[in-house]
Structure 1
């Protein structure tokens, strides 16, 4: 029989059934599975050490078993093991015995040729010895194979593998064990017992979702896991973050919407993600090939079980027994139970702890739904809706609305959607509230008597939807809905409702930096409602108008509107309006030179009233301004305290992405960055996977941490943010966060051109949108100025006078932008705070460096100015202070600030700053702890080479070097070549730069 197996090995066709060609992730880096791979590699290491082991890898179809085993095979081969792989194939009732072993041993037979028979016969005679049945205790744990003539074959295969392993340890990989024929299962049982003392690792995979109750592999698995050295490894779904990494790796240009959709629908299954992505999916329909794969298992069930799945698919991802019983055509309870049991045992449905059924994977439900005929779909939705109407505790209004709409009961769907929207509002879910209200608006034209059914007009529903959009951070959507209100009302509509629409639109427009249009809308609201008698609508119109007037520096008009609103709010007992106006007045008076302590006291009074009113938007505005006052006062810790307080309240109120809640989150990210809590800053920026576009600046604020750490993901994240900036032209904070990161990255990378260009562009945008109040330009100009000063210094070092003039002029233009911003702010707004003062000090110090002047006093001033709490910028200024001290010859004084900068860089993980500090220490030949020993130039260059290098640094040509050193031009050229070779430089300029950074440039 062993000879027969060898014969099959040499003649069996290499072709075998495979899945049709689709894009695969095989050639890409393995995503996730680090723990699982470590477990498998441990088995490989045991084999390499001479001990046998086995791992049974279980996982659903498509979860990534094959990709993991491919990676294992590659790693094992890299560790010197020989890898043999076999695959089981689904051939239905027509089984080919031992197919996976034929598969894995085929390359051995091909390699050995006529000698293959000897390998398999080497110890087969032992199987005929009297004691051959006693193969050791591990075998006795298992049921021995029936001695029907196969024992000789089994021992021959075991002997062959042991013989191969004697030369090189083996990794044997068997895939898709759930399709293995009985003979192959018996042989595997034998081998796992027989090879325990051989340097062989066996890894076998199977689909756990294919193992129904009576699957023949089940009893074998139960036996195998009792063997010593055999373990089971379950592959669960990949986490969403790793699926996103996989998707972006497969399609780098995929939009965020596509990526999010694929991640949500794949539910951790790599194959499903690949199929969805290959179809370019960001919509509703499943790819045909994936649908066929999913339905293949459904179609193996009985008609009754398929009917249960269809009813469950219509009902939802999760469904209770009572609902299934009410929807499935009447039958005996026993029949229904049997059908449900079949669906569960086939791993299509699973039972939750509370007794509800749910689909094992959402895509199975999608495939079943897609396969329904239109009439059957409508009938089932109607049956579910009827059951939910009869028993409201069985589902929510949102579920009922969905089923009513799908069953074409549009009037019922409209009423249920309104009920669902109200429920969402009560639990603080504005995004869901908006979704239900937009469903109502979509149904409105198709439902006769919609206003009577809703109990209010379409304009009122639009106003509710706009309010929900604002609460959910979707300000542009709110603007569109409010404009729709104005269209519905027209010029003859109710003045009070029109005024509400106008001032609400003014508030929304102000939040997207369209102050001119906001002023027009708030003025229109004031004109529609008289001041007397006082009314809530007029009060809010005046409060909004005051805020917009101050933004446009129309102070007299703003004062009048604010006084009217404050008096009316007091008279009417409108705490929310009073608090809103109090914030506006307090901030306006502070900007005009008022006392900051008085401002804080007024804001805290406004907070009490805002909370008493129950208006979350006003409360968030008060909290944001309390945090901002602390920030502007140079107290980032206090700002962070208010930010965290505000975010806690926003979560409680369900308005985490409303405008001011998003601003509080942004301030929390920036405050943590400034205070040196970089992990906390990045964690807050990335806490939620999806954010509204108007809150994208929150995530972009984390870019400074990535730049500061030299994170490889920085460029990709900046590209994402830049794409949003280009689309959302008026989103100033997003632009500032992105530009700041781009400039800082360019400065660290030595790309002065990009740094200067981004700073100029950002300054122009700020001037267009914020006018005189553009103090943020100073930070951008200071960072870009650093890059320009570096470029000018390099030009001076290499004697490139033209480049020096170019970069000096570019830097001077940045200084002018910064000073202009400071002057305009002082003229229109007032004095600037500690943060701005620190950046002004930085600009002055960088200006001196731009001109080639070492200015320790200016850098000392910058260090002290950033001492208000900006940990990183204080360290960066200390580095520059040390550099200036070295340039003035005071190397001893430079050591303390340089050591402090290095300690901060290590604590933050700020790799670029630490590299710069280390380079300065080496260049100045300062022994800085933790940066390695400083090289002595004499140990690298000969005295003559040192002289040549010094002249190279001054931009001398070979002829000039020869003339000054009284050597020939050819000899000078030889010395230059030697210098380039020792430094590994490709040019004279690069050689000078490398020598300077390594502290090898001669001084004096």
Structure 2
């Protein structure tokens, strides 16, 4: 072997992926792996400091080793290291010797041409000198190479790499070491010891899932990790959140269900995620190319081991030894043990701590299942179902139902699914409860005695399934199920059952903002059942009708229905109905100006009755209203207490994403935001990975924190929420959360047009859906006014009268929407709460700013109004108060509110606000703690440059500057160039903006 080498070559060789082309992923920023990258960069830094080090990177195929090493190579090049990369290739038992080293040294040889061979010969000769034999204790401790010729070659390679590193530190990257030939493994062993004191970092990757017990790399790895400076880095699967980030980065506008499916099936493997995403977008189940990759390893096993995998795949992700033995090897335990051992040692199955076998990756199971012939699949499912039936403790009802269905025993599957549904309901698993009941509904037409097996008719089963959907937050699915029950019953069905369907549908429709339809359904329920004698169905119909009437401001009808329901509930001992009506009455009286002191005891009595009844939905409604009453009184801490109590109770009952539990979570997110616990607010918003669409406002509520902190990813999250708003037209809370974030984001970005448009859209929707209850328009309008007032101020500064008039008109329009909402609410409900008072004060202060009037008294009132506990808005108002004080010439008074605002901004991590506060301090020449010393204009610019800068701020051209200062246009241009250079600005406009933000604009 003759490998030409030479020192002092600087062009890097960057590693590429070898497990499959991932072009789109490679073009994206590295997702996750911050800790692993830091470990690798530490090795690079040690090499840069003159010390050798090595990292052995282990990970399954496709987990992201090559992408990580690509990023490492790019970072190392940026730090001045010379990067050489080599790749091993799978050439079977007989590989090409030294292939990865030939690969990494080829660029060096290509640059040197004919001179490289002579240098290599010189290195070989040097290696034969007596002194070269003493290679140091680390090398002596290793097993020696086979012969002297190899020793000379190894030393020549090591010495040449050391010489390269003498010119610049070196990073050597070796990929796919599991395919390395024996000679390459021996050379790597030698180099890691020989280069321990050289500025060389060696990073080698290999697939851990390919290392079976007899793999030749295993003993080498055990030997290498004992060397000083050598460490092992295990690359585990990516967390679900990072896989989701990767998937959304690969393709924009992907449906949430597709993303969730890819995340769940990929199990942290980046390559699998991309392949599954591509297949999902193309309508495939499992991409053919990925199936081939997965089955290639299965097909290397013996027939017995392959049969074990087929049985295990049919049985499920996890399978116990007894089941495999019963299905495959009733009388050949020895053969079974050998087959299982082979599957485990090949890293296709792993053994869990409880002794069960599990597929290392779920997609391997999918591929094995897809490879089964239809008849074989049916037979295996039947065999597994038979074993589970014979051994009831061997599996759950859900498992039996699955295998019975797949073996075409539909009657048995229906009975098992009913059993599984009851089990899921009892343990508080509404999603699984719904899934099993929907399976029963699907099987119903094919099973003649379905009603007898179910113990109820199909319409009653539809009601039960709708209840499961409601508990899981799937409200639109509940509506569809109840509509199906109505169609099934028709006009001649049992009146009481029809009434149940009508009032249940009314309850669900009210929760998806279809109040008119809810009233129609509750009215229909009332007409089907007589008031006397009292009955549970009539009582619930009346309770539901009262709520529907109040929602549409039909007070007299609502009072009559509520009075009837309350009396009947007392007579029948229906605690849940009594509690529900009590909440309805309390809320109705509250909006009419009822006594808040009497509200809480009534709700607490309702809570006790709801708990006694065991009705989880009513209990959650009571808890939500206890939190709401506190919120409307401006008691954020009390709101948070009830929210936490409610969420804990929802977890205990297994109804975390039912309607009112989701509302409690939303209140918890918002109240933490208001109180200044922004970390807690974000954590609660994102705590659960999968969120029903009707609970999306919970996650969207966290957007305000991200906007307030200037999170660079917030635009993507806002776009996600906006897409849901457009799809779920009537989801008002989602609209409010999204619009609030969009308006605030637009205000910080100086995009007043977007702020106005979003406010107008939201106001129109709220008026259509909520009528006089649309007080939330006030908050959106006040936030939008900030952006409009900023735009008007900029227009005044630049002398753009047309723009100033346009923004004044836009501001009047926004303020009009907000004032109309307040007037309508006051007309119907008699007033508003403490939060609305604060936002109204903010609206009026922003209106004054829009008109160009600095009014410290208005802003002082806003600061006081938000003192009820809204930490961020109070800090933002203090910033505006300081701005108004500076504008009116009271600089000394501005320092206190500005300092307080800066302190809150730092505590919250509110970077945009802190930046605005700091900029104001610099413009006003105020020494704000923690923002650095105020720099005078004269310390940066000459007197003439200061004069030129003042004219630049007024929009003057070079010719106009020369004319006003009696200098030539060319001299003015030179001064402008000097100003731009001192500020690091790329344009005249940017220079003025930077000077203003740094307090360097001349004040004269």
**TM class by shorter-chain length?**
over 0.9
Mean CA deviation greater in 34-43 or 331-340: 34-43
Give the corresponding residue for 1:487: 487
- After TM superposition, the structure 1 = structure 2 runs for residues 321-470 of structure 1, keeping only pairs within 5 Å, are 321-470=321-470
Would the aligned equivalents of 2:473 and 2:658 in 1 still touch at CA under 8 Å? yes
Deviation at residue 16 of structure 1 after TM alignment: 13
What CA distance in whole angstroms lies between the structure 2 residues aligned with 1:66 and 1:928?
A: 48
Deviation at residue 948 of structure 1 after TM alignment: 6.7
What CA distance in whole angstroms lies between the structure 2 residues aligned with 1:322 and 1:82?
A: 57
Does residue 585 of structure 2 align to residue 585 of structure 1? yes
What CA distance in whole angstroms lies between the structure 1 residues aligned with 2:17 and 2:57?
A: 22
Give the corresponding residue for 2:653: 653
Change (3 A) 1:433 1:978: same
Does residue 500 of structure 2 align to residue 503 of structure 1? no
Does the residue aligned with 1:202 lie in a helix, a strand or coil? strand
What CA distance in whole angstroms lies between the structure 1 residues aligned with 2:121 and 2:952?
A: 76
Does residue 720 of structure 2 align to residue 742 of structure 1? no
**CA-to-aligned-CA distance 1:303-343 (integer Å, 9 cap, x gap):** 00000000000000100000011111545110011000110
Would the aligned equivalents of 1:886 and 1:924 in 2 still touch at CA under 8 Å? yes
Give the corresponding residue for 2:858: 858
Mean CA deviation greater in 321-330 or 972-981: 972-981
- After TM superposition, the structure 1 = structure 2 runs for residues 232-271 of structure 1, keeping only pairs within 5 Å, are 232-271=232-271
Deviation at residue 137 of structure 1 after TM alignment: 2.4
Change (3 A) 1:978 1:275: closer
Deviation at residue 592 of structure 1 after TM alignment: 1.4
Give the corresponding residue for 1:11: none
Does the residue aligned with 2:534 lie in a helix, a strand or coil? coil
Would the aligned equivalents of 2:5 and 2:116 in 1 still touch at CA under 8 Å? no
Give the corresponding residue for 1:603: 603
Would the aligned equivalents of 1:23 and 1:274 in 2 still touch at CA under 8 Å? no
Does the residue aligned with 1:151 lie in a helix, a strand or coil? helix
- After TM superposition, the structure 1 = structure 2 runs for residues 524-535 of structure 1, keeping only pairs within 5 Å, are 524-535=524-535
Does residue 49 of structure 2 align to residue 25 of structure 1? no
- After TM superposition, the structure 1 = structure 2 runs for residues 135-284 of structure 1, keeping only pairs within 5 Å, are 135-147=135-147, 149-281=149-281
Mean CA deviation greater in 86-95 or 659-668: 86-95
Does residue 685 of structure 2 align to residue 685 of structure 1? yes
Mean CA deviation greater in 187-196 or 495-504: 187-196
Deviation at residue 437 of structure 1 after TM alignment: 0.7
Does the residue aligned with 1:25 lie in a helix, a strand or coil? helix
Would the aligned equivalents of 1:785 and 1:846 in 2 still touch at CA under 8 Å? yes
What CA distance in whole angstroms lies between the structure 2 residues aligned with 1:29 and 1:704?
A: 25
**CA-to-aligned-CA distance 1:943-986 (integer Å, 9 cap, x gap):** 666667667767789999899x6959969976995797466777
Change (3 A) 1:798 1:231: closer
What CA distance in whole angstroms lies between the structure 2 residues aligned with 1:89 and 1:41?
A: 26
Change (3 A) 1:459 1:887: same
What CA distance in whole angstroms lies between the structure 1 residues aligned with 2:709 and 2:129?
A: 69
What CA distance in whole angstroms lies between the structure 1 residues aligned with 2:909 and 2:209?
A: 45
What CA distance in whole angstroms lies between the structure 2 residues aligned with 1:5 and 1:915?
A: 54
What CA distance in whole angstroms lies between the structure 2 residues aligned with 1:278 and 1:528?
A: 53
What CA distance in whole angstroms lies between the structure 1 residues aligned with 2:998 and 2:632?
A: 41
Does residue 543 of structure 2 align to residue 546 of structure 1? no
Give the corresponding residue for 2:64: 64
Would the aligned equivalents of 1:124 and 1:159 in 2 still touch at CA under 8 Å? no
Change (3 A) 1:228 1:922: closer
Pairwise CA RMSD: 2.7
**CA-to-aligned-CA distance 1:691-725 (integer Å, 9 cap, x gap):** 00000111111111111111111111111111111
What CA distance in whole angstroms lies between the structure 1 residues aligned with 2:613 and 2:374?
A: 51
Would the aligned equivalents of 1:948 and 1:975 in 2 still touch at CA under 8 Å? no
Would the aligned equivalents of 1:420 and 1:436 in 2 still touch at CA under 8 Å? yes
Deviation at residue 424 of structure 1 after TM alignment: 0.5
Deviation at residue 899 of structure 1 after TM alignment: 1.0
Would the aligned equivalents of 1:86 and 1:102 in 2 still touch at CA under 8 Å? yes
Give the corresponding residue for 2:289: 289
Unaligned runs of 5+ in 2: 7-14
Deviation at residue 882 of structure 1 after TM alignment: 1.2
What CA distance in whole angstroms lies between the structure 1 residues aligned with 2:655 and 2:154?
A: 68
Would the aligned equivalents of 2:56 and 2:204 in 1 still touch at CA under 8 Å? yes
Would the aligned equivalents of 1:430 and 1:472 in 2 still touch at CA under 8 Å? yes
- After TM superposition, the structure 1 = structure 2 runs for residues 554-593 of structure 1, keeping only pairs within 5 Å, are 554-593=554-593
Give the corresponding residue for 1:891: 891
Change (3 A) 1:204 1:528: same
Would the aligned equivalents of 2:5 and 2:160 in 1 still touch at CA under 8 Å? no
**CA-to-aligned-CA distance 1:780-833 (integer Å, 9 cap, x gap):** 111111112222222222222222222112212222222211111111112211
What CA distance in whole angstroms lies between the structure 1 residues aligned with 2:968 and 2:564?
A: 87
Does residue 536 of structure 2 align to residue 536 of structure 1? yes
What CA distance in whole angstroms lies between the structure 2 residues aligned with 1:107 and 1:616?
A: 70
What CA distance in whole angstroms lies between the structure 1 residues aligned with 2:219 and 2:163?
A: 30
What CA distance in whole angstroms lies between the structure 2 residues aligned with 1:953 and 1:144?
A: 76
Report the TM-score when normalising by structure 2: 0.95
**CA-to-aligned-CA distance 1:350-392 (integer Å, 9 cap, x gap):** 1011100000111111110010000100000010111111111
What CA distance in whole angstroms lies between the structure 1 residues aligned with 2:905 and 2:696?
A: 28
Give the corresponding residue for 2:302: 302
Mean CA deviation greater in 985-994 or 465-474: 985-994
Give the corresponding residue for 2:12: none
What CA distance in whole angstroms lies between the structure 2 residues aligned with 1:987 and 1:199?
A: 44
**CA-to-aligned-CA distance 1:30-64 (integer Å, 9 cap, x gap):** 22222222222233333333333322222111112
Would the aligned equivalents of 2:948 and 2:976 in 1 still touch at CA under 8 Å? no
Deviation at residue 108 of structure 1 after TM alignment: 2.8
Would the aligned equivalents of 2:526 and 2:541 in 1 still touch at CA under 8 Å? yes
Does the residue aligned with 2:788 lie in a helix, a strand or coil? helix
Does the residue aligned with 2:203 lie in a helix, a strand or coil? strand
Does the residue aligned with 1:867 lie in a helix, a strand or coil? helix
Change (3 A) 1:283 1:450: farther
Would the aligned equivalents of 2:513 and 2:731 in 1 still touch at CA under 8 Å? yes
What CA distance in whole angstroms lies between the structure 2 residues aligned with 1:33 and 1:426?
A: 41
Does the residue aligned with 2:670 lie in a helix, a strand or coil? helix
Give the corresponding residue for 1:121: 121
**CA-to-aligned-CA distance 1:565-621 (integer Å, 9 cap, x gap):** 000000111110000000011111122121001011100111111111111100100
Would the aligned equivalents of 1:627 and 1:640 in 2 still touch at CA under 8 Å? yes
**CA-to-aligned-CA distance 1:508-538 (integer Å, 9 cap, x gap):** 0000111111001001001111111111110
What CA distance in whole angstroms lies between the structure 2 residues aligned with 1:783 and 1:96?
A: 68
Give the corresponding residue for 1:12: none
Does the residue aligned with 1:231 lie in a helix, a strand or coil? strand
Deviation at residue 268 of structure 1 after TM alignment: 1.2
What CA distance in whole angstroms lies between the structure 1 residues aligned with 2:27 and 2:961?
A: 54
Does the residue aligned with 2:50 lie in a helix, a strand or coil? coil
Does the residue aligned with 1:150 lie in a helix, a strand or coil? helix
Would the aligned equivalents of 2:3 and 2:102 in 1 still touch at CA under 8 Å? no
Give the corresponding residue for 2:793: 793
Does the residue aligned with 1:772 lie in a helix, a strand or coil? helix
What CA distance in whole angstroms lies between the structure 1 residues aligned with 2:938 and 2:80?
A: 45
What CA distance in whole angstroms lies between the structure 1 residues aligned with 2:626 and 2:968?
A: 71
Would the aligned equivalents of 1:949 and 1:979 in 2 still touch at CA under 8 Å? no
What CA distance in whole angstroms lies between the structure 1 residues aligned with 2:109 and 2:940?
A: 59
Change (3 A) 1:175 1:553: same
Does residue 832 of structure 2 align to residue 819 of structure 1? no
Deviation at residue 547 of structure 1 after TM alignment: 0.6
Give the corresponding residue for 1:639: 639
What CA distance in whole angstroms lies between the structure 2 residues aligned with 1:809 and 1:25?
A: 47
What CA distance in whole angstroms lies between the structure 1 residues aligned with 2:446 and 2:351?
A: 40
Does the residue aligned with 1:934 lie in a helix, a strand or coil? coil
Does the residue aligned with 2:233 lie in a helix, a strand or coil? strand
Would the aligned equivalents of 1:54 and 1:203 in 2 still touch at CA under 8 Å? yes
Unaligned runs of 5+ in 1: 7-14
What CA distance in whole angstroms lies between the structure 1 residues aligned with 2:588 and 2:826?
A: 15
Does the residue aligned with 2:26 lie in a helix, a strand or coil? coil
Change (3 A) 1:640 1:213: same
